[in-house]
Structure 1
Amino acid sequence: MKHATLAVVLVFLLLSCGTKKRTTYSKKSSSEVVKSNKSTKDYTKFPFPEDAKKFTYFSTSSIEEYLVTYSEIAQFEMKAYGIPASITLAQGILESGYGMGTLTLKTNNHFGIKCHNSWDGEFEYHDDDEKGECFRKYNHPMYSFRDHSIFLSSRARYASLFELRRDDYKGWAKGLKKAGYATDKSYPQKLISFIERYQLYKYDKEVLAQGYQVQAEPKKYDYKKHVVQKGDTLYSISRAYFISVDELMKLNGMNSSNLSVGQELKIKSERVK
């Protein structure tokens, strides 16, 4: 009897060990030290409405429910940063699987924004284009929407988008792909399909009807110089300065991607007010 009891205990222990899930949350290497989530300091620039903070935004079971849950936040972001609500919602639906994607459920990250060097908040490793990539993690989904706005509006590579009309969702969809937001060749068509199928453009019209600008004011830029070092490529330089390769080549009148050590490149950056 004692032997039978011991066998049961051993089986139970083995099963427990076998079913224990491996967590993907981890610390970065010493060169990427993660501090406490300080990223929320930027979110106070345009505070959320008090009503928004009362809702619990987590998983949604359909696209229709996703729109009911997040359309108001997308419209608020449009008022604050000028990104069409239709684009924000279409990207959220696509990138997060209308809030039901594995990564989104673990991180509240609705836009698949990766860590990048500037991120000092919480994060999660997840397989995407490559295995074990680092993605930003938020304690509330609405901060994902705010970070999406900051991410697009603070990088020179997306600057041309903000010179488009606020209701030009087709131009925004194509511009996102051209600027390198996604590698999927059909990314613009997918966004446009969601917008037209679910009439997401009506959320843009509602904001514009309240008196917000249809045409964005042209942004002003400063220019800096980059001296090409050994090992530099147009791609690595474009990543470092958040500018697309096409724009970098156009800015410097380049017909090929060949670089030489010591070559000076003009870099465009948004002027800080």
Structure 2
Amino acid sequence: MTRQEFIQLLAPIAVKLRLEGSSIYPSVRIAQAILETGGKVNAWNNLVGYKVGNGQTTPYWHGDRVSAKTWEVVNGTRYDNVPGDFRAYRNIEDSFRDQDLLFQFSRYTSVRQAKSSEEQTRALQNSGYATDPAYTSKLNTLIQTYQLKQYDQEVARMLEELRKQIEGLQNQVNALEKQLSFDAVPGWAKAAVDAAVASGLIDTPNGGSYDFYRLLTVLHRKGII
């Protein structure tokens, strides 16, 4: 799999999750996957370097794990071939969704609140997600090299289009409501409205909707008011 094929595989998932409310920018998510895996999908579908941790299962991780060697930086010293247990997933999307659950912890508040991909990459390192002191710069380099911000922009465009659609629908609703309301009592409902006012049932007869006047008329014809 080429690097571009890897990106094209992940981009739709990253965009989808962002649209669904994930706090992680697609550019950051893809860059992190490249950095953690070298741009290859491992057999256990864990593209984010998520270790087993306390072993608490989630809706997206059911306890499966693999042992693999990695490297860590401790007190400025790099140690190679460090054994670790990593979560294994049924598919890539589950690994990303499970990571989103991790980012709900208070430790990652700054990650969730980031207003840009650059701010988010800094927050990931500052929150201790990785021990590599160059983690932020490596992520930013990957984002720039592969123009990954285009996927953040795609999300922004889609959200703007959705906002416009919602606004258009609301305008239609407002127009329909205006059509169904009356500034004055319609003639066919006047007797019913007079009866409702006289009985104390209503005190503001004007400006009602079609359904309002229709209900009063039905009640009047049935002798209820």
With normalisation by structure 2, the TM-score equals 0.61
User: Which whole-Å CA distance do the structure 1 matches of 2:55 and 2:109 have between them?
Assistant: 19
User: Which whole-Å CA distance do the structure 2 matches of 1:132 and 1:93 have between them?
Assistant: 21
User: Which whole-Å CA distance do the structure 1 matches of 2:84 and 2:114 have between them?
Assistant: 32
User: Which whole-Å CA distance do the structure 1 matches of 2:111 and 2:83 have between them?
Assistant: 30
2:33 maps to what in 1? 92
Deviation at 1:159, TM superposition (A): 0.7
1:115, 1:123 within 8 Å by CA — same for their partners in 2? yes
2:87 maps to what in 1? 136
User: Which whole-Å CA distance do the structure 2 matches of 1:150 and 1:90 have between them?
Assistant: 19
1:207 maps to what in 2? 155
Which one of 117, 122, 146 corresponds to residue 174 of structure 1? Answer: 122
Structure 1 gap segments, 5+ residues each: 1-60, 213-273
The 1:172/1:124 distance shift into structure 2, 3 A limit, reads same
User: Which whole-Å CA distance do the structure 1 matches of 2:94 and 2:54 have between them?
Assistant: 19
The answer to whether the aligner puts 1:127 opposite 2:69 as a matched pair is: yes
* Greater C-alpha radius of gyration: 2
- What is the identity, as a one-letter code, of the residue corresponding to 2:36? E
- What is the identity, as a one-letter code, of the residue corresponding to 1:198? Y
The answer to whether the aligner puts 1:160 opposite 2:107 as a matched pair is: no
The answer to whether the aligner puts 1:115 opposite 2:52 as a matched pair is: yes
Deviation at 1:118, TM superposition (A): 4.1
The percent of aligned pairs where both chains have the same amino acid is 30
- What is the identity, as a one-letter code, of the residue corresponding to 1:109? N
1:235 maps to what in 2? none
Equivalent position SS for 1:133: strand
User: Which whole-Å CA distance do the structure 2 matches of 1:203 and 1:156 have between them?
Assistant: 27
Deviation at 1:131, TM superposition (A): 3.5
Deviation at 1:98, TM superposition (A): 0.9
Deviation at 1:145, TM superposition (A): 1.7
Q: How many residues are matched?
A: 145
2:110, 2:120 within 8 Å by CA — same for their partners in 1? no
Q: Where do 4+ consecutive residues of structure 1 move more than 6 Å?
A: none
Deviation at 1:211, TM superposition (A): 2.0
The answer to whether the aligner puts 1:68 opposite 2:19 as a matched pair is: no
Equivalent position SS for 2:4: helix
Structure 2 gap segments, 5+ residues each: 58-62, 73-80, 161-225
User: Which whole-Å CA distance do the structure 2 matches of 1:122 and 1:194 have between them?
Assistant: 30
Give a deviation string over 1:155-204, Cα, whole Å, max 9, x none. Answer: 11111222222xx1111111100000111111101100010111100100
User: Which whole-Å CA distance do the structure 2 matches of 1:183 and 1:131 have between them?
Assistant: 13
Higher normalized helix content (fraction of residues): 2
Which one of 193, 214, 218 corresponds to residue 141 of structure 2? Answer: 193
